[in-house]
C-alpha cells in the first residue's frame, strides 16, 4: 500500500519528461533522423533550473506565479488520478470536478502570466488557450458522464477502475467513442499537433509555447516540466479506457502501466509525424467533434 | 421575542445610519478633514457595525432558540413568565392599514439571508469612507449615506416580513432606496437614464408580485406567509409560481429579464453596486424560496424550468460579460451568470422535492444558499476594486487601462482573489459552491430507473461551459486592467494611488472570507441542513449533507494545494536571491520598438470566444471595406449590444411610446376631471358589488 503510494509519487514526479523524450524520438525516427537522446528533456529542464532569469520590466509577480501555480495545480491533479489499477493517493466523492477545475486554475495563471508581459504574441496565445478550453471543458465533462454512468461512482478512482468493465458488459461503443474524444481533448489540452505545434517557437500559430515566450531560466524550466506533467496526467486518464486489463501482481501492473504510458507517448509521436497542424480556425471543428463523440457516447448509454 | 427585538433595532439602526450625514458640514475642504473624509461616512460605518453586532446576536438567539431572559429573570415573576411564553422569534402587531398586519419572524431561511444583509453594508460603508474622500465633496453626496442605509434596512425588512402587505411595502422601499442610492455615481446623466430603466423594470416585476399576492390572499384567506396553509388547486399554484418566477426573477436578473441590470449596476457608486448585486438581487432568490416553501410543488416541470432559466442566464450572462469593455458592466453581467447558477441549484432542489429525492433537494438547496453568500462576498470585493480603479484613473474602459498593477499592487492582489473565486477555481469559495452543484447534478445520472433524470446532468455541461468562459472573462478583466502596459499612457500617468486603509480593510475582509469559506465549507453543512429542514418542512434524516458530499475533503485539497505551491515558490524565490534576475524589455520577436498599443486589449482577448458564440450573441462589427486600389483612412469598431435589450425590449417600449399618446385624452391635467373618474369608478364598483352579492 505504502509502496504503491511511493511508486505513484515517483512516477508522477520523475516520468513526465520521459514522455517528451519518447515523442521526440518517434518523430525523429519518422523523419529519418537519430534525434535527441531519450532523456534530453531531463537535461533541458535541469539546465534551465540552474540558469539565471531575464524578466521583462512590464511584468509583476503574476508573471512568476504563472508557471509556479500551474505546476502546483497539475501536481495536485496528479495526486487525484489513479495510475493503472492502483488507488490514487487522494480520492473522494466528487474529486473529478476538482480534477477538471485544477486545470482551470492552471489556465487562469498561465494566461495571466502571458498577458502580463504586454506582448501581442503572448496575448494571442492566451486568447487561443482560453478559447479552446471553452470547447474542451464541456467535452471532458461529457467523458465523466459516461464514466459515472458506467460505474455509478463519483470519485475518479472507482470511476476509472469500474467503468472499463463496460467492455465486458456490452457498453463497448460508448467506451470507444469516449476513448477517441478523450484523445482529442488530451491533444488540445497539452497543446500537441494537430492543435498546436510544440516545436515552433517563432510562428504566430501556437498556443502553449507562445505563452511562455518570455519565461526564462528556472521559470521556463518549471513551465516545461508542468506541461510534461500535464501530458502525463491526462495520458494516464486515457490509459484507463485503452487498457483495462490487470494481472494482479503489483510489479507487473506497474510495468504494464509504464509501458502503456510509453505506447501513448509513441502514438502521440506518430500522430505528430503523420499530421500537419490544423489551421487555427479549424481547431474548433476538431474540438466540436470531440464534444459530439462524447455526447453520442452519453446518449448511447442513457437511451 | 428578544431576538426579534434585536433584529428590529438593528434594522432601525441601519435605516438611521445615514441620518447623521445630513447634518455633516460640507463646507470644509478635503484637505483639512483627512480622517473621516466624506460627510457622515465614518459615522455610517460605525452604525452599520453596531447593527451587525445586534443583528448577529439576534440571529444567533433565533437560531439556537436560546432565551437569556429566561435564565436571567426569576421565573416566578409574572413578567418572566410572559417572556418565556413568547420565546418564539416572532412579532405580530395590528396596524392602521385595512389589510395585513405588522408580522415579522425569523426562521432558519430568514436567518441565513439576514447574515449577509447585515455584513455587506458594513463592508460597503467602510469602503465608502475612502471612496467618498477620493471622489471629493458635493452637496448631494450627503444624501447617499441616507439612501444606502435605507436600502440596507429595507432588504433586512424584506427578509423578516411574514405578511404579504408588509413584504410588498418593504419590497417597494427597497426598490426605491436602491434607485435613489444609485443616482450618485460618477456620471450623473447616465446614472439617471439607467435608474429610469430600472424603475420601470422593477415596477413591472412588482406588478407580478401584486397579482401573485392577490391570488395568494384569495386562496389562503390572509396575507400571512406561513407554511401549512390550505390545499392549493394545481392551476392556482401554477399561476402563483409563474408570477413569482417573473416577479422575483426580474429582481434577480434572470435571462431575459436582466435588461435593466448591466447599466444600473455599472452606473451606481461602487459600494451601492456591491450591495445591489451582492444582496438586493438575492432577494429574488429569497422570494422564490419563500414562495416555494408556502406553495406545495408537486410538478417536476418547475424544477426543469428553473434549470433551463438558470443555464440560459449563466451562459448568456458570462458570454456578455466577456464581451463588455466597461469593467463594471462586465461585473454586472457576471451577476446574471451567478444568479443563473443559483437558479440551476434551485431547480435541482425543486426537482428533488417533486421526485421525492431528498439528496437532490438537500444538495441543490445547499448549493443555492452557499452560492448566495459566496457571490455576495466576491462580487462586493470585485465591485470595490473596480471602484478603486475608477477613482484612481477616472475611467472604467478596460481597453484604455492596463499596467495598473504596478501602481495599485494591493488592489490588484485583492481583485485577483475575487477573480479566481468568482471563476469558481479552487481553493476559494466559488469552487466550493459550484462543486456542490456539480455533485448534485452528477447524482442525477444515478441508476434510479423510476424517473429518467439523466438529461438533468446536461446542466453540468452548461456549468462546465460557463466555468471555462468565466476563467476567460476574469483573466481578461485582470489582465486588461492590471497587467501589461497601459494602453492609454495618458490615463495611466494620471492614475492616482489609492492609499485608503478603510478601502483596503473592506476588500481585505471580503477576500479573507472568500478564502475561509473555500477552505472550510464543511462548517456550514449543519446550517444548510437546518435551512433545508425549514424549507422542505421535513427534518433532515441521518445521512446528512456530509454523507452525500464530503465537503471536508475540500479543506484537505485546498490545504494540499497551498502546500504544493510552497515548493516551487520557495525554489523561485531562492533562485531570485541567489542570482538576481536581469531586467529587460519584453521580447517581441525582433520588433525594435514594442508599443503599448500593440498589446492585446480586453476586447481582442475575448473576441475569439465571442465569435465562437456569435450565433447567439450577434456582435456588431464595423469593419473597413476595401473599395479601390488605394484605400482611404478607415476605422474599425466592434460592439456587443444586448440582443434582448435591442431587439425585444426597446421595440416594445417604442411601440408603447408611439401608441400610448392616444390615451392622453383621458389624462389632460385637470384635477376635477380626475376626481370625477374616481367617483365614477367607485359607483361602478359599488353597483357591481351589489349585483354580485345578490
pLDDT digits (tens, 9 = 90+) for B348-381: 999 888 888 888 889 999 999 999 999 999 999 9
pLDDT digits (tens, 9 = 90+) for A138-191: 999 999 989 988 888 889 988 888 888 888 887 889 999 999 999 999 999 998
Residues 6+ apart with CB under 8 A from A184: A139, A286, A287, A289, A290, A293
Q: How far is Cα B32 from Cα B38, in angstroms, rounded to an integer?
A: 12
Minimal Cα distance from B487: which residue of A?
A118
Residue B36 binned pLDDT confidence (cut-offs 50, 70, 90) = very low
How much is the pLDDT for A220? Answer: 93
Mean pLDDT for the stretch of residues B601-621: 87
Taking an 8 Å cut-off on Cβ atoms, the answer to whether B426 and A119 are in contact is: no
Chain A touched by B425 (CB under 8 Å): yes
Chain A touched by B415 (CB under 8 Å): no
- Give percent of chain B with pLDDT exceeding 70: 91
- Give percent of chain B with pLDDT exceeding 90: 47
- Chain B closest-CA separation from residue A29 CA (Å): 31
Taking an 8 Å cut-off on Cβ atoms, the answer to whether B586 and A130 are in contact is: no
* Chain A residues close to B549, C-beta within 8 Å: 93-94
Q: Is the pLDDT of residue B76 over 80?
A: no
Residue B428 half-sphere exposure toward CB, CA atoms < 13 A? 25
Are B373 and B282 contacting, i.e. CB atoms less than 8 angstroms apart?
A: no
How much is the pLDDT for A22? Answer: 95
- Give percent of chain A with pLDDT exceeding 90: 64
Minimal Cα distance from B466: which residue of A?
A134
How much is the pLDDT for A202? Answer: 59
- At residue B622, the 3 state secondary structure works out as strand
Residue B81 lies in a domain: no
Nearest to A131 among B438, B582, B608 (CB): B608
Residue B85 binned pLDDT confidence (cut-offs 50, 70, 90) = very low
Taking an 8 Å cut-off on Cβ atoms, the answer to whether B472 and A131 are in contact is: yes
For chain A, the average pLDDT equals 90
Nearest to A72 among B561, B594, B598 (CB): B561
Taking an 8 Å cut-off on Cβ atoms, the answer to whether A108 and B423 are in contact is: yes
pLDDT digits (tens, 9 = 90+) for B302-337: 889 999 999 999 999 999 999 999 999 999 999 999
A155 exposure class (CB count in 10 Å sphere: 0-12, 13-18, 19+): buried
Minimal Cα distance from B407: which residue of A?
A60
Residue B32 binned pLDDT confidence (cut-offs 50, 70, 90) = very low
**B404 DSSP 8-state letter:** G
Beta pairing, strands B620-622 & B637-639? antiparallel
**Grid cell digits, residue B155:** 432588504
- Looking at the DSSP assignment, which residues form a beta bridge with residue B622? B637
How much is the pLDDT for B137? Answer: 55
Lowest mean pLDDT among A264-268, B140-144, B282-286, B558-562: B140-144
* Chain B residues close to A55, C-beta within 8 Å: 581-584
- A·B CB contacts under 8 A: 243
Mean pLDDT for the stretch of residues A4-12: 93
Taking an 8 Å cut-off on Cβ atoms, the answer to whether B471 and A104 are in contact is: yes
Q: Is the pLDDT of residue A289 over 60?
A: yes
Distances (CA, A) of B426 to B329, B486, B600: 25, 30, 27
Instruction: Give the total number of structural domains in chain B.
Output: 1
For chain B, the average pLDDT equals 86
Taking an 8 Å cut-off on Cβ atoms, the answer to whether A214 and B443 are in contact is: no
How much is the pLDDT for A162? Answer: 85
- At residue B90, the 3 state secondary structure works out as strand
Mean pLDDT for the stretch of residues B555-575: 93
Is the ipTM value over 0.90, yes or no?
yes
* Chain B residues close to A59, C-beta within 8 Å: 483, 586
Q: Is the pLDDT of residue B452 over 70?
A: no
**Best residue in A114, A118, A128 for a mutation probing chain B (most B CBs within 10 Å):** A118
Taking an 8 Å cut-off on Cβ atoms, the answer to whether B465 and A100 are in contact is: no
Q: How far is Cα B109 from Cα B114, in angstroms, rounded to an integer?
A: 9
Residue B33 binned pLDDT confidence (cut-offs 50, 70, 90) = very low
How much is the pLDDT for B598? Answer: 82
- At residue B583, the 3 state secondary structure works out as strand
Residue B16 CB neighbour total at 10 angstroms? 16
How much is the pLDDT for A102? Answer: 95
Residue B164 lies in a domain: no
* Chain A residues close to B584, C-beta within 8 Å: 54-57
* Chain B residues close to A96, C-beta within 8 Å: 442
Q: How far is Cα B363 from Cα A97, in angstroms, rounded to an integer?
A: 15
How much is the pLDDT for A259? Answer: 94
Taking an 8 Å cut-off on Cβ atoms, the answer to whether A68 and B568 are in contact is: yes
Residue B317 lies in a domain: yes
Chain A touched by B403 (CB under 8 Å): yes
How far is it between the farthest Cα atoms of chain A?
Answer: 60
* Chain B residues close to A49, C-beta within 8 Å: 571, 575
- Looking at the DSSP assignment, which residues form a beta bridge with residue B639? B620
Mean pLDDT for the stretch of residues B635-650: 85
Q: Is the pLDDT of residue B236 over 90?
A: no
Residue B348 lies in a domain: yes
Nearest to A76 among B472, B564, B579 (CB): B564
Mean pLDDT for the stretch of residues A188-198: 86
How far is it between the farthest Cα atoms of chain B?
Answer: 102
Q: How far is Cα B520 from Cα B555, in angstroms, rounded to an integer?
A: 6
pLDDT digits (tens, 9 = 90+) for B391-450: 888 889 998 888 888 889 999 999 999 999 999 998 999 999 999 999 999 988 875 655
Q: How far is Cα B486 from Cα B438, in angstroms, rounded to an integer?
A: 39
Distances (CA, A) of A104 to A134, B332, B432, B544, B606: 11, 23, 14, 30, 17
How much is the pLDDT for B621? Answer: 82
Taking an 8 Å cut-off on Cβ atoms, the answer to whether B446 and A152 are in contact is: yes
Mean pLDDT for the stretch of residues B289-309: 86
Residue B605 CB neighbour total at 10 angstroms? 27
Q: How far is Cα B10 from Cα B149, in angstroms, rounded to an integer?
A: 11
How much is the pLDDT for A204? Answer: 59
Are B148 and B123 contacting, i.e. CB atoms less than 8 angstroms apart?
A: no
Mean pLDDT for the stretch of residues B113-142: 82
Nearest to B557 among A98, A118, A121 (CB): A98
Are B293 and B399 contacting, i.e. CB atoms less than 8 angstroms apart?
A: no
Task: Report B:484-513 residues touching A (Cβ under 8 A).
Answer: 484-485
Q: Number of helices and strands (H, E) in chain B?
A: 29, 5
Alpha helices (H) in B324-457, listed in sequence order: 327-355, 358-393, 409-422, 429-443
Residue written as cell 495510475? Answer: A83
Chain A touched by B475 (CB under 8 Å): yes
Beta pairing, strands B90-93 & B620-622? unpaired
Can you give the C-alpha Rg of chain B in angstroms?
27
**Best residue in A70, A134, A209, A226 for a mutation probing chain B (most B CBs within 10 Å):** A134
* Range with the largest mean pLDDT of A69-78, A111-120, B250-259: A69-78
Taking an 8 Å cut-off on Cβ atoms, the answer to whether A105 and B425 are in contact is: yes
Nearest to B549 among A59, A93, A219 (CB): A93
Answer with the residue of higher pLDDT: B629 or A285.
A285
Answer with the residue of higher pLDDT: B330 or B26.
B330
Dihedrals φ, ψ of B332, to 5°?
Answer: -65, -45
- At residue B639, the 3 state secondary structure works out as strand
pTM of the predicted structure, to 2 decimals: 0.94
- At residue B124, the 3 state secondary structure works out as helix
Beta pairing, strands A54-56 & B582-584? parallel
Minimal Cα distance from A48: which residue of B?
B575
* Chain A residues close to B606, C-beta within 8 Å: 127
Residue B45 CB neighbour total at 10 angstroms? 25
Minimal Cα distance from A103: which residue of B?
B425
How much is the pLDDT for B394? Answer: 86
Chain A touched by B438 (CB under 8 Å): yes
**Best residue in A97, A189, A206, A303 for a mutation probing chain B (most B CBs within 10 Å):** A97
Residue B540 binned pLDDT confidence (cut-offs 50, 70, 90) = low
Chain A touched by B465 (CB under 8 Å): yes
* Range with the largest mean pLDDT of A72-86, A204-218, B480-494: A72-86
pLDDT digits (tens, 9 = 90+) for A51-81: 999 998 889 999 999 999 999 999 999 999 9
**Of B20, B96, B108, the residue nearest B63 (C-alpha):** B108
Are B141 and B125 contacting, i.e. CB atoms less than 8 angstroms apart?
A: no
Mean pLDDT for the stretch of residues B130-139: 69
For chain A, which residues make up each domain, given as ranges? 2-302
How much is the pLDDT for B34? Answer: 41
Q: Which domain holds residue B385?
A: 299-538+549-579
Amino acid at each position: 500500500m505504502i509502496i504503491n503510494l511511493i511508486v505513484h509519487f515517483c512516477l508522477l514526479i520523475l516520468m513526465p519528461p520521459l514522455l517528451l523524450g519518447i515523442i521526440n524520438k518517434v518523430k525523429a525516427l519518422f523523419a529519418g533522423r537519430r534525434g535527441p537522446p531519450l532523456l534530453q528533456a531531463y537535461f533541458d529542464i535541469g539546465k534551465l533550473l540552474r540558469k539565471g532569469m531575464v524578466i521583462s520590466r512590464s511584468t509583476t509577480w503574476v508573471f512568476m506565479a504563472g508557471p509556479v501555480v500551474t505546476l502546483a495545480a497539475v501536481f495536485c491533479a496528479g495526486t487525484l488520478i489513479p495510475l493503472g489499477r492502483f488507488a490514487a493517493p487522494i480520492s473522494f466523492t466528487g474529486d473529478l470536478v476538482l480534477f477538471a477545475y485544477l486545470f482551470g486554475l492552471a489556465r487562469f495563471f498561465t494566461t495571466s502570466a502571458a498577458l502580463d508581459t504586454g506582448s501581442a504574441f503572448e496575448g494571442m496565445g492566451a486568447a487561443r488557450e482560453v478559447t479552446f478550453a471553452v470547447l474542451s471543458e464541456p467535452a471532458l465533462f461529457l467523458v465523466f458522464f459516461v464514466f459515472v454512468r458506467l460505474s455509478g461512482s463519483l470519485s475518479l478512482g472507482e470511476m476509472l477502475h469500474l467503468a472499463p468493465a463496460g467492455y465486458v458488459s456490452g457498453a463497448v461503443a460508448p467506451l470507444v467513442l469516449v476513448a477517441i474524444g478523450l484523445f482529442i481533448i488530451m491533444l488540445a489540452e497539452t497543446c500537441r499537433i494537430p492543435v498546436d505545434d510544440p516545436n515552433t517557437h517563432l510562428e504566430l500559430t501556437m498556443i502553449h509555447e507562445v505563452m511562455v515566450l518570455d519565461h526564462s531560466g528556472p521559470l521556463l524550466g518549471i513551465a516545461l516540466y508542468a506541461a510534461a506533467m500535464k501530458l502525463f496526467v491526462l495520458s494516464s486518464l486515457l490509459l484507463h479506457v485503452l487498457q483495462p486489463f490487470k494481472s494482479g501482481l503489483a510489479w507487473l501492473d506497474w510495468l504494464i502501466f509504464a509501458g502503456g504510458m510509453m505506447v501513448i507517448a509513441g502514438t502521440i509521436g506518430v500522430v505528430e509525424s503523420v499530421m500537419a497542424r490544423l489551421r487555427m480556425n479549424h481547431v474548433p471543428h476538431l474540438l466540436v467533434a470531440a464534444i459530439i463523440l462524447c455526447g453520442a457516447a452519453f446518449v448511447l448509454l442513457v437511451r | 421575542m428578544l431576538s426579534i427585538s434585536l433584529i428590529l433595532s438593528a434594522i432601525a439602526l441601519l435605516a438611521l445610519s445615514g441620518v447623521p450625514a445630513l447634518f455633516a458640514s460640507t463646507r470644509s475642504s478635503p484637505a483639512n478633514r483627512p480622517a473621516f473624509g466624506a460627510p457622515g461616512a465614518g459615522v455610517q460605518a460605525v452604525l452599520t457595525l453596531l447593527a451587525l453586532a445586534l443583528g448577529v446576536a439576534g440571529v444567533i438567539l433565533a437560531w439556537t432558540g436560546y432565551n437569556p431572559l429566561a435564565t436571567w429573570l426569576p421565573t416566578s415573576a409574572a413578567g418572566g413568565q410572559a417572556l418565556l411564553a413568547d420565546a418564539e422569534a416572532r412579532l405580530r402587531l395590528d396596524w392602521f392599514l385595512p389589510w395585513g398586519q405588522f408580522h415579522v419572524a425569523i426562521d432558519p431561511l430568514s436567518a441565513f439571508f439576514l447574515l449577509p444583509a447585515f455584513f455587506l453594508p458594513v463592508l460597503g460603508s467602510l469602503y465608502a469612507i475612502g471612496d467618498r474622500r477620493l471622489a471629493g465633496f458635493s452637496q448631494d453626496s450627503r444624501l447617499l449615506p441616507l439612501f444606502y442605509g435605507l436600502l440596507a434596512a429595507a432588504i433586512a425588512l424584506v427578509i423578516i416580513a411574514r405578511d404579504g402587505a408588509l413584504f410588498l411595502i418593504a419590497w417597494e422601499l427597497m426598490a426605491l432606496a436602491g434607485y435613489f442610492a444609485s443616482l450618485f455615481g460618477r456620471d450623473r446623466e447616465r446614472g439617471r437614464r439607467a435608474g429610469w430603466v430600472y424603475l420601470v423594470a422593477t415596477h413591472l416585476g412588482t406588478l407580478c408580485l401584486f397579482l401573485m399576492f392577490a391570488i395568494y390572499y384569495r386562496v389562503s384567506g390572509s396575507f400571512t406567509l406561513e407554511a401549512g396553509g390550505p390545499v392549493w388547486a394545481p392551476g392556482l399554484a401554477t399561476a402563483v409560481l409563474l408570477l413569482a418566477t417573473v416577479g422575483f426573477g426580474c429582481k434577480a436578473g434572470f435571462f431575459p429579464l436582466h435588461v435593466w441590470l448591466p447599466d444600473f449596476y455599472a452606473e451606481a457608486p461602487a459600494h451601492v453596486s456591491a450591495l445591489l448585486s451582492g444582496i438586493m438581487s438575492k432577494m429574488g432568490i429569497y422570494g422564490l424560496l419563500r414562495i416555494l416553501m408556502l406553495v406545495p410543488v408537486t410538478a417536476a416541470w418547475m424544477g426543469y424550468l428553473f434549470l433551463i432559466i438558470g443555464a440560459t442566464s449563466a451562459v448568456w450572462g458570462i458570454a456578455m460579460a466577456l464581451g463588455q469593455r466597461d469593467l463594471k458592466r462586465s461585473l454586472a453581467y457576471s451577476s446574471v451568470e451567478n444568479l443563473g447558477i443559483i437558479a440551476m441549484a434551485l431547480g435541482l432542489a425543486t426537482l428533488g422535492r417533486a421526485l421525492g429525492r431528498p439528496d437532490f433537494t438537500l444538495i441543490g438547496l445547499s448549493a443555492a444558499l452557499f452560492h448566495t453568500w459566496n457571490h455576495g462576498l466576491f462580487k462586493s470585493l470585485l465591485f470595490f476594486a473596480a471602484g478603486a480603479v475608477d477613482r484612481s484613473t477616472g475611467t472604467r474602459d478596460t481597453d484604455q487601462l492596463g499596467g495598473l498593477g504596478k501602481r495599485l499592487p494591493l488592489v490588484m492582489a485583492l481583485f485577483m482573489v475575487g477573480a479566481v473565486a468568482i471563476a469558481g477555481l479552487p481553493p476559494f469559495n466559488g469552487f466550493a459552491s459550484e462543486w456542490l452543484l456539480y455533485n448534485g447534478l452528477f447524482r442525477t445520472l444515478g441508476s434510479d430507473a423510476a424517473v429518467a433524470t439523466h438529461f438533468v446532468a446536461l446542466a453540468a455541461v452548461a456549468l462546465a461551459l460557463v466555468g471555462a468562459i468565466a476563467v476567460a472573462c476574469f483573466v481578461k478583466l485582470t489582465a486588461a486592467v492590471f497587467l501589461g502596459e497601459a494602453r492609454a499612457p495618458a490615463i495611466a500617468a494620471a492614475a492616482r494611488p489609492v492609499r485608503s486603509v478603510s478601502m483596503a480593510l473592506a476588500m481585505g475582509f471580503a477576500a479573507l472570507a472568500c478564502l475561509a469559506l473555500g477552505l472550510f465549507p464543511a462548517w456550514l453543512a449543519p446550517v444548510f441542513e437546518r435551512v433545508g429542514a425549514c424549507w422542505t418542512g421535513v427534518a433532515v434524516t441521518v445521512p446528512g449533507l456530509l454523507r452525500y458530499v464530503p465537503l471536508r475533503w475540500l479543506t484537505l485539497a485546498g490545504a494540499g494545494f497551498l502546500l504544493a505551491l510552497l515548493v516551487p515558490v520557495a525554489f523561485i524565490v531562492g533562485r531570485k536571491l541567489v542570482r538576481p534576475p536581469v531586467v529587460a524589455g519584453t521580447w517581441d520577436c525582433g520588433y525594435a520598438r514594442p508599443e503599448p498599443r500593440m498589446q492585446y486589449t480586453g476586447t481582442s482577448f475575448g473576441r475569439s470566444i465571442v465569435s465562437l458564440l456569435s450565433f447567439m450573441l450577434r456582435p456588431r462589427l464595423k469593419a473597413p471595406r476595401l473599395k479601390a486600389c488605394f484605400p482611404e483612412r478607415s476605422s474599425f469598431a466592434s460592439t456587443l449590444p444586448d440582443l434582448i435589450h435591442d431587439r425585444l425590449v426597446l421595440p416594445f417600449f417604442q411601440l408603447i411610446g408611439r401608441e400610448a399618446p392616444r390615451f392622453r385624452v383621458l389624462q389632460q391635467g385637470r384635477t376635477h376631471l380626475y376626481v370625477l373618474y374616481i367617483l365614477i369608478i367607485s359607483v361602478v364598483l359599488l353597483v357591481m358589488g351589489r349585483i354580485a352579492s345578490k
